Amino acid sequence: MNPFSWSFRTRYLAGFVVCAGLMAFALYAQYVMLLDPCPLCIFQRIAVCFMGLVFLIGALHAPRRPAGRTVYTVLAILGAIGGIVVAGRHLWLQTLPPDQVPACGPGLGYLFDSFPFMKMLKLAFTGSGECAKIEPILGLPMPAWTVIWFVVLGVWAVIAARRTVR
């Protein structure tokens, strides 16, 4: 079964299934492996959920015209770029020497409740000590895996929209 011969709907449904699997693993890592997510991890999850939603709506809608497919592709790529930026920042924090790692900060829930949105984003992207902790999975830290998956899903969205099976 060649995935490049699938219809737009099937390809976008496959993208949704991958995003759902990534979120399932994130929840497994949180509740079974006891890896508490830092604020940057939560933003990466939001990007995965956004892409999953775009893939699901695109699969259900399955536009026939190229313009409709372009809308879904652009939205998926924006989600992928956002996820890559957040994961890249997370990886950068993990490469800092221990003396330059920011102090542990409050959780994302507290930031949402206590600060205006833009201030909360600034504080979250500044990072904190828990963001710099490296827990390798199959030899790579979690943000490296998310960068890989964001790239794969972004490319998949482009391939799904460009190649049409009739």
| Tens digits of residue pLDDT in 130-162 | 666 677 778 888 889 999 999 999 999 998 887
pLDDT, residue 139, reads 85
Q: Please give the tally of structural domains in the chain.
A: 1
CA-CA distance, 23 to 44, in Å (whole number)?
10
Mean residue pLDDT across the chain? 82
11, 19, 38, 89: which one is catalytic? 38
CA nearest neighbour of 63 among 15, 14, 9, 10: 9
Residue type, 78: L
Dihedral angle of Cα 116, 41, 79, 76, to the nearest 10 degrees: -150
11, 19, 69, 131: which one is catalytic? 131
pLDDT tens digits along 73-91: 999 999 999 999 999 988 8
CA distances from 147 to 48, 55, 65 (A): 11, 18, 30
104, 162, 163, 166: which one is catalytic? 104
Reply yes or no on whether 41 is catalytic. yes
Can you give the pTM of this predicted structure? Answer: 0.81
pLDDT tens digits along 15-54: 999 999 999 999 998 899 888 887 888 889 999 999 999 9
Reply yes or no on whether 104 is catalytic. yes
CA-CA distance, 108 to 85, in Å (whole number)?
18
11, 41, 69, 89: which one is catalytic? 41
CA-CA distance, 105 to 21, in Å (whole number)?
29
CA nearest neighbour of 160 among 52, 48, 70: 70
Reply yes or no on whether 19 is catalytic. no
CATH number at residue 138: 1.20.1550.10
Structural domain boundaries enclosing 75: 3-162
